[in-house]
Amino acid sequence: MTKGLLLVISAPSGAGKSTLCLALAENRPEVWVSISCTTRPPRPGEENGRDYNFLSPEEFEKRLKAGEFIETARVHDYMYGTLKKPVDDALAAGKDVALNIDTQGARSVKAHFPDCVRTFILPPSWPVLEERLRKRAQDGPDVIAKRLANARGEIGHLAEYDYVVVNDRLQDALDDLLSILRAEKRRFPRLKEELKYLSFL
């Protein structure tokens, strides 16, 4: 049984990462898109178990103490984290896993899973990013400023990633992601066992 591929996806807010991950899940139901836990309250339209697992600060703290998270991060005064067990189980069962996390989390994941593939999603340009953040009517100006500053910080970690996808047209960005997933499965180091089995190595 070949182990699944772990695809780490990071992006600043406004790059369209969540939409892209939903499109990935729809297009490749066999890829398990991991859902982060967060103590942040849901935004209008967000659903528990689809966009995030929304946890109370107490529940988050309890699981953190029990060592259940593969990575956690504090962003904009809220806690975010990824549970380890579902990721381990999916990979061991040969399922590919997409992890939608920030750059802090990506570094922890890389330390745990050195053969993960890291992809950074960018907006087409800075003006487009600012425009997208301003259009989120539910955020006040100080929240927007904070998000923009945070986006600059996140984008500063671009060079830690294997791939960069620019999310201008959603379908193009999705096709890029799907190609990365397919191509990475053909990388020589990942195929050693299969090639030995076929007596080619």
Residues that bind its own copies (CB under 8 A): 119-120, 122, 124-126, 155, 158-159, 161-165, 175-176, 178-180, 182-184, 186-188, 191, 195, 198-201
**Smallest distance, its own copies to C-beta of residue 118, A:** 9
- Burial letters for 86-100: b for 16+ Cβ neighbours within 10 Å, e otherwise? ebeebbeeeebbbbb
- List CB contacts of 111: < 8 A, sequence separation 6 or more: none
Closest CB to its own copies among residues 91, 155: 155
Structure tokens at 54: 């929304």
Whole-angstrom distance, CA of residue 160 vs CA of residue 144: 26
**Smallest distance, its own copies to C-beta of residue 160, A:** 9
**Smallest distance, its own copies to C-beta of residue 116, A:** 15
Closest CB to its own copies among residues 80, 161: 161
Closest CB to its own copies among residues 64, 128: 128
* Other C-beta atoms lying within 10 Å of the C-beta of residue 144: 17
**Smallest distance, its own copies to C-beta of residue 28, A:** 13
**Smallest distance, its own copies to C-beta of residue 199, A:** 6
Whole-angstrom distance, CA of residue 181 vs CA of residue 187: 10
Closest CB to its own copies among residues 65, 186: 186
Closest CB to its own copies among residues 93, 183: 183
Closest CB to its own copies among residues 86, 124: 124
CB 14 within 8 A of CB 151: yes
Which of 106, 145, 110 has the alpha carbon at shortest distance from 17?
A: 106
CB 51 within 8 A of CB 18: yes
User: Which runs of consecutive H residues, i.e. helices, occur in 2-56?
Assistant: 17-27
**Smallest distance, its own copies to C-beta of residue 79, A:** 28
